[in-house]
Structure 1
């Protein structure tokens, strides 16, 4: 009986270890894809705009995929550059002072009475419209998104999947 229990434990341990290693491999691959293209986007942003320092690069996927590069220009003014993943759209840039802040975008959505719990705020883009994507749990506990115009602060779209 002890021998069967030992064999079962060994087989179970080997299977568990294999599943763990496979899961780690998938996770590593997914994280690599998340950051894929960031260096090229930062280089393109520096080459095509006034950006001199790239502090952070985020990936935004809406109707199209964009990389949003946050950094500073030669006057140390904070700016954002939206770099398309494809060649069809053009690179757009704005100084942070030309738009509302992420905190202001979150406050606008909260003041509209949509938010139960704020999750995150990221720069976004749809076609040539620069946005803030505000993610939150709504009053019903559903994960939701609001898109706030980067320049005007107007809520353009609310989505609850």
Structure 2
């Protein structure tokens, strides 16, 4: 009986270790894909705009894929640069003070009475329209998105499944 328990424990331990290693490999691969293109986007942003320092790079995938680079110029002015993954598309940049803040975008959606629980706010872009993407749970508990115009603060689109 004791020998069977030892064999069972050894087999279970080997299977558990194998699953753990495979899961770690999948996670590492997924995270590498998430950050793929960030260094190139940061370099493009510096080359094409007045950025001297890059603080953050995020990936946004909507109709097309964009990298949003946050950094500062030589005057320490905070800037956002939307770098398209498609090299043929145009890079757009704005000083942070030329648009509404992340907090203001979230408040605009909150004031509409749509939000039960706010999740995240990220910069986004559709064609040449610069946006804030606000994700939240609506009053029915459904995961929802709203797009707020970066410059005007106008809600352009609400998406609820």
TM-score for the superposition, normalised by structure 2? 0.98
Q: Which residue of 2 aligns with 1:47?
A: 47
Q: Which residue of 2 aligns with 1:62?
A: 62
The whole-number CA distance in structure 1 between the counterparts of 2:127 and 2:89 is: 8
The whole-number CA distance in structure 1 between the counterparts of 2:111 and 2:45 is: 34
Q: Is the partner of 1:116 in helix, strand or coil?
A: strand
Q: Which residue of 2 aligns with 1:159?
A: 159
1:2 matched to 2:2? The reply is yes
For this pair of structures, how many residues does the alignment match? 161
Report the alpha carbon displacement of residue 141 of structure 1 after superposing the two structures with TM.
1.0
Q: Which residue of 2 aligns with 1:115?
A: 115
Report the alpha carbon displacement of residue 50 of structure 1 after superposing the two structures with TM.
1.2
Segments of 4+ moved more than 2 angstroms: none
Which runs of structure 2 are paired with 1:1-161 in the superposition (5 Å)? 1-161=1-161
Report the alpha carbon displacement of residue 88 of structure 1 after superposing the two structures with TM.
2.8
Contact 1:82 1:91 survives alignment (8 Å): yes
Report the alpha carbon displacement of residue 107 of structure 1 after superposing the two structures with TM.
0.3
Contact 1:42 1:57 survives alignment (8 Å): yes
